[in-house]
Structure 1
């Protein structure tokens, strides 16, 4: 018992430490590299001309064109068919068959790094989450341990969020809430170790936090909470517009251009022109959020940031640039919160501090990524203020409820649903969909007869067998019909009353679909056919039920032990 306990402790500790340290260093490198590139771009932000009080700089357009060119080269010569993101991490954590592609994972992260470094309006936390999950999956493939794949992925994701936000508790909760979708003793220990190690390493490089921590927490709770109740529904509406805008444009790209090269250059041109006048809408948006927290923008300019940030982000993420949706959601939320703060101030409500800005950031991002509790905890860890987190709770709750009813659980869930993965139905649906009817064949005997058999011969065949049903096939084994012995015995005519259209299962049908199809079936067995209607074998209800129990046992091992 002592050796077993020691072995488990070592596995949990080493897994968390190794993944946490590696992911933290990679996350720090990513964030520091993007920030260094942003600082470098600032040196070229010289005014070319002015219109209506706005100064136009050509550098954003030039950098975006350069970035688009580099992305085209990377995607073409390294043969990336589709960028991978958090949705793929969620699927891999729930599926035995959906392994994370290591090459595509790292190249997707590189493309996101290039996009963010060039000033595209994309996020960094989605790519970091995917990078963390990919590193966890890679380490799992090269180690023999009692811990399952989803735990390794969870460790990587928690470490990425922990380093990215300097929020170890938020990282732990995010991994369970948004990725694993369950809490278990088996997973919590290594994920907690990974998240804490990641934050510890990150603090050696960014002791004041990577994002921001200088917030005004001197607030009046009652007016802040009251206004946040109105703010939440608006955050939900903006989040739904953002997510639907992305999916709609992505679904209609060919109407703009069938060429990926043309589309990304169009995006670079549009975003470069907009960003040339309004640089606050480009990049990750960290400095823009800091400006809002410092009350640096007028009410009219906050509306401009909100509208154009939404516009250029949808353009960038849909038309060739790659990155996350988390950071843009934070900027959009901060814009709405800042607008409410200014409006409240004009009405004489001044003791709000940064509560509405932070609450709206948490609410809008929670609606997009589907992690309300993690969003609230991250706000608490970033600000170290109970009052600010308290205000965020009501805003997050109302936003998530409304966005879930209108749109769905999260943007990632909708992405998976569009790929025919119903992640919202839980791990059971995913695991059952990975097993096909064909995989269960070969366990059951059945009675197969020629279509030319006489009624007397058929009765004799039934008498010699233990079956109560028979299947008629021709010389090519094509299923022609089915009959039950009691039907023959109840008929006096010599012709055989065959059922020409019995319930059948396609061999490529997955178990989840098969269970639904046979839910009202009564009989001995169900014939399984291929695409040419040839009889391959039979299944019964017990086969499907046992497969369901097998999946439930596997889930119990993962989620409850």
Structure 2
């Protein structure tokens, strides 16, 4: 019931956000009623000045909301690191940035805004009902899936988006809420006049067995293009920061750079909804398709690299159709006749490139199935997306959302819940009641203060109370030691130590590297905070891992 309510709310917000962005485009670019920005044949230079103006407005909005100084969390990061907890304020800011970017014509999609508010609705409702961590994560996934389902009119695609991209796994406990939310979101969107995402791309050529190998090759090409596109966005973003452009100037400069690209063709602007349908329906020369492909890549890279906010979901769908057309057309030019159906190739390329960039192979398969109702084309898409996703996973390891997190310093590669790993730090696990002794004590004095059997080890410090190693009590009682020699001469692990902020995986790696059974936890001044044993750390990790697996599969 909660998921259905969340799904309805997510669907409503998706419709509102889309309506706001399209209204902005219609007013700013003087579009006819019902026209799509990327489908208009040409735009004058005076109108395209809206692009840098939009960059300036976005910068002002970000400054006013302090967005540039805040670390805002999206649905994927929330589920992976924070147990599904999302900030309403941050979500509204992200949504506002995305709507402004798309509404002023930048080459970004609204999918990030849809998913953000859908997840935020779920997080607010889940926290109000004090759901446990696993259930809250499922509800956040359901909310984002419902938002995508409403935007595309595709409940199955929305449901698999939730499973693959936001929750990070197919789980029995998530099945009912995710499906309920996706259906509710789609129903609300349809009641508000949003039509299902339908592609009229009837094939004129039967799909034969050898075609699947050809489509698999297309999937491999899309994987390479997707990796290059994601790396290019990161490269340009890093480059703009090295140029020391002020944050307020970056989107405006990006808008200026978009003008010559848009003069070439307005198809590069916005998400590309209108352009995608036009290119699927009407054949075009290969040189023209290649030009649009390169221009759209450049526009998306510039938009995201220079600070516009949005996603690559729909841009990757559009780019994929162009790659499919180029692939089929190139083969036909070499052989002298069509080897595969160009429209099928466009659909396959659309899904395969989207999988490379966004992730979620079954999400794209379901999107094509629900958009075309063509099972033969869906089979070809399945072959290509599996190849594409496998290559990207093995060669790159990130989707676009997790790649951006990686560039920011996070280590997550999917929405699987690793937040519990981050919370198990050395500072939380250490034992504070640790025997601390001066390293310059004589062996005889150490034996007097620490009787054999009283403790297995003592931590040594120097005259400034800084860590000087660990001495094992039985070693100090071994024969052959000079009673007047300082006990510090027996210290081990003088350099190997732990910081209190280290998470459990870093702690285990430090134990593996040092070969120690116990390590001291030190502050920034190398003063002793506590002691941690390897056996305890391994046991805690196993306990938490088992607990996470029980929650994942719904065991109580």
Give the TM-score, by structure 2 length: 0.89
In structure 2, the residue matched to 1:446 is 434
Cα RMSD of the aligned pairs, angstroms, is: 2.6
In structure 1, the residue matched to 2:36 is none
2:521 aligned counterpart, secondary structure: strand
Is 1:196 matched up with 2:183? yes
Is 1:512 matched up with 2:505? yes
Q: Which residue, out of 316, 333, 341, partners 2:328?
A: 341
**Partner Cα distance (1:416, 1:356) in 2:** 32
Distance 1:293 1:525, change over 3 A: closer
Distance 1:400 1:551, change over 3 A: same
Q: CA deviation at 1:525?
A: 3.6
Q: Which residue, out of 9, 12, 18, partners 1:31?
A: 18
Q: CA deviation at 1:365?
A: 0.6
In structure 1, the residue matched to 2:149 is 162
**Partner Cα distance (1:290, 1:262) in 2:** 34
Task: Tell me if the contact between 1:64 and 1:119 (Cα under 8 Å) persists in the aligned partners.
Answer: yes
In structure 2, the residue matched to 1:411 is 400
**Partner Cα distance (2:107, 2:512) in 1:** 49
Is 1:236 matched up with 2:229? no
**Partner Cα distance (2:284, 2:125) in 1:** 46
In structure 2, the residue matched to 1:91 is 77
**Partner Cα distance (1:492, 1:321) in 2:** 69
Is 1:182 matched up with 2:136? no
Q: CA deviation at 1:483?
A: 1.8
**Partner Cα distance (1:124, 1:231) in 2:** 27
Q: Which residue, out of 112, 131, 156, partners 2:98?
A: 112
In structure 1, the residue matched to 2:38 is none
**Partner Cα distance (1:361, 1:480) in 2:** 61
Q: CA deviation at 1:191?
A: 1.2
Task: Tell me if the contact between 1:376 and 1:393 (Cα under 8 Å) persists in the aligned partners.
Answer: yes
Q: CA deviation at 1:501?
A: 4.2
Q: Pairwise mapping of residues 127-166 of structure 1 onto structure 2 (< 5 A)?
A: 127-145=113-131, 148-166=135-153
1:354 aligned counterpart, secondary structure: helix
Task: Tell me if the contact between 1:257 and 1:263 (Cα under 8 Å) persists in the aligned partners.
Answer: no
Q: Pairwise mapping of residues 241-280 of structure 1 onto structure 2 (< 5 A)?
A: 241-280=228-267
Q: CA deviation at 1:304?
A: 0.9
Is 1:458 matched up with 2:450? no
Choose 289-298 or 154-163, whichever is displaced more: 289-298
Task: Tell me if the contact between 2:268 and 2:292 (Cα under 8 Å) persists in the aligned partners.
Answer: yes
Distance 1:355 1:41, change over 3 A: farther
Distance 1:219 1:187, change over 3 A: same
Distance 1:533 1:124, change over 3 A: same
Distance 1:320 1:527, change over 3 A: closer
Q: CA deviation at 1:543?
A: 2.7
Q: CA deviation at 1:397?
A: 1.9
Distance 1:259 1:226, change over 3 A: same
Q: CA deviation at 1:181?
A: 1.1
2:125 aligned counterpart, secondary structure: helix
Structure 1: runs of 5 or more not aligned: 1-12, 46-53
2:531 aligned counterpart, secondary structure: strand
**Partner Cα distance (1:340, 1:520) in 2:** 49
**Partner Cα distance (1:111, 1:447) in 2:** 55
Distance 1:478 1:22, change over 3 A: same
Distance 1:425 1:197, change over 3 A: closer
Q: Which residue, out of 148, 160, 181, partners 1:173?
A: 160
**Partner Cα distance (1:126, 1:426) in 2:** 15
Task: Tell me if the contact between 1:56 and 1:277 (Cα under 8 Å) persists in the aligned partners.
Answer: no
Task: Tell me if the contact between 1:423 and 1:430 (Cα under 8 Å) persists in the aligned partners.
Answer: no
CA offsets 1:24-79 (integer angstroms, 9 cap, x no match): 0111122233334444456469xxxxxxxx96612542221332232122111121
Is 1:357 matched up with 2:349? no
CA offsets 1:193-247 (integer angstroms, 9 cap, x no match): 10111111222234641x4332214432026434313312221121112101100
Q: CA deviation at 1:444?
A: 5.9
**Partner Cα distance (1:491, 1:335) in 2:** 80
**Partner Cα distance (2:152, 2:91) in 1:** 21
Q: Pairwise mapping of residues 352-431 of structure 1 onto structure 2 (< 5 A)?
A: 352=341, 354-424=343-413, 427=416, 429-431=418-420
Distance 1:73 1:521, change over 3 A: closer
In structure 2, the residue matched to 1:498 is 490
Distance 1:245 1:552, change over 3 A: same
CA offsets 1:330-357 (integer angstroms, 9 cap, x no match): 1111111122333455532277152111
In structure 2, the residue matched to 1:5 is none
**Partner Cα distance (1:74, 1:389) in 2:** 42
Task: Tell me if the contact between 1:116 and 1:284 (Cα under 8 Å) persists in the aligned partners.
Answer: yes
Distance 1:428 1:130, change over 3 A: closer
**Partner Cα distance (1:412, 1:246) in 2:** 12
In structure 2, the residue matched to 1:81 is 68
Give the TM-score, by structure 1 length: 0.89
Distance 1:322 1:434, change over 3 A: same
**Partner Cα distance (2:165, 2:207) in 1:** 29
**Partner Cα distance (2:529, 2:432) in 1:** 11
Q: CA deviation at 1:401?
A: 2.3
1:261 aligned counterpart, secondary structure: coil
**Partner Cα distance (2:153, 2:394) in 1:** 32
Task: Tell me if the contact between 1:100 and 1:134 (Cα under 8 Å) persists in the aligned partners.
Answer: yes
**Partner Cα distance (2:330, 2:436) in 1:** 78
Choose 533-542 or 375-384, whichever is displaced more: 533-542
Distance 1:109 1:55, change over 3 A: closer
1:518 aligned counterpart, secondary structure: helix
Distance 1:256 1:531, change over 3 A: closer
Q: Pairwise mapping of residues 189-228 of structure 1 onto structure 2 (< 5 A)?
A: 189-206=176-193, 208-209=195-196, 211-222=197-208, 224-228=211-215
Task: Tell me if the contact between 2:75 and 2:86 (Cα under 8 Å) persists in the aligned partners.
Answer: yes
Q: Which residue, out of 458, 463, 473, partners 1:470?
A: 458
Choose 189-198 or 446-455, whichever is displaced more: 446-455
